[in-house]
Structure 1
Amino acid sequence: MGSDRPGDCRPAASPALPSDTERAHARQRAVRELRLRQRYARVSLRGLKANARSGAHRRESPLRTRGLALWLIGHAARRAPPPLSQRLEEEWLADLAARDGRLSRLRFGLGCCWAATVIVNEHCSTSAAAAAGSAAGQKAMTYAQHDAPLLPPRAIALLLIACVHTALIAALVTGLRSTTTEAIPTTSGELLPEPRPPIEPPPLPGPRLAPTDRVEVHTREFQIDVPREPGPGESLGTAPQEPSEPSRTVNRIAGGPGAGFPDTTDYYPPASRRLAETGAASVRVCVDTEGRLTTHPTIARSSGSARLDDGALKLAHAGSGHYRPTTEDGRPVDSCYVFRIRFELRD
């Protein structure tokens, strides 16, 4: 094979062979790649068996995604310096072993981004070197041209974009699925105060009746004359009528509460006092000549409040012995009469 120039019969220059250092690096990368594939095969097989038993393979990322991530990391590690590639390989294998073949979302995303960056930079540098070599001719062919990527640049770019999107979607889906919690319905209520019973207005007091201090009862006596049967020798005739006595006037004075009678303030019901209830009740009592009750007092006319009526009865019962009896012509007699008891609030 000769030169490209016509008439030049000189043999073409042979390509440059890699140095010993490059051969050693290539040998180390091949060994690490083989070891990585062997370890990943064991971890993936163990993880698949565990996931098949527990049914967790439905919730984890697919095997192809992990394989693609490891392929990207291995592809980037071959182009990285030996210490960095070895450290990357050890971290990923430790993460896989600790998680039974499952990759953490953070390491998966960071690893894919780092691998994509390394591959893109390598591809750019390789493309630049290839352009410089083609301009200089076949004499500038180096070992880096033999180590060019197998895929075209467009396919590599699309593959990287797909990997990044897949990593982001997987992280979002798994994160939302693990953090989303079912909302527990809560029931809230409000305590309302018990409505107070309406306060009935006190009845209007009736007209005050002036007590009758002196009552004069006029009695009239009637005399019935029965004719006497005539005796023997007596003729029937009209018997002489005796003159009728004039009618007698009785001076009657009605009784009532006397000296020492209890005060209404002591028998005012406390509930009626708080509710500002007022009123007057008419009580009927029967007393003897000494002013003591002969029967239980009764309500002749209600005040409109049961509490006030009860207080009036208690007051009337407590006043036994302090009543002024009714007198007729100055002499006390047994009698029954009605008197009023008024309950009023005083400032």
Structure 2
Amino acid sequence: MSRRSSPVVPPQTRATRWLGIAFVLIAHVLVIGWLMAQRLLPMPDEAVTLMVNFIAPPALQQAAPKPAPKPPEPKPLPKQPAQQLVAQAPVLSPAEPVAPPLPEVPVVESAPAAPAMPLPAGPVALGGELSVVCPERRSPAYPPMSRRLGETGKVVLRVTLNAQGRVAKATVNQSSGFNRLDEAALAAVREWRCTPAQRNGQAVEATALQPFNFVLEG
């Protein structure tokens, strides 16, 4: 078998190819330079690198539950006229037993309380002499002038005791006839301390008579 020989390119054709390629390159350079001069293409210094980040789509929000529908409001009932309740006696059949009425309980009226007996007013009159109920007592002093003059006599005093047993009042019920003897008896009895009189368990005032005999001996 015979080998085919590769065609031989003449030197002029090669030169023409290179000239065409150079012309195309020069034309591209000129066009790029003109575009850069017209600011149609950004300068290398002005070129900005853009970073693109893929953002995941937001998760779908769960749909909020719908509020439950409100129940329909009840319609107001029409007002009915007020009814009066009247108690009626039940109707009993002849076969139903009827309880006999309860006997009336007699009302016992309480007897009126007896009025309290009022306590007698005024002091209690002692039956005996005052000296009987007076443990603290002293005899009257005989006046010296009455001794010299020989004055004697009997003095009877009316004495009033208070509820504490002290002499509240003393007066001459019967005079001795001599003023000095009467005053000596009054001065002595005013110092006496006596036991209070009792009425219904309470201490009360009392009155009594007390005699004094003024006698000179020798």
* TM-score of the pair, normalised by structure 1: 0.25
Please identify the structure whose Cα radius of gyration is greater. 2
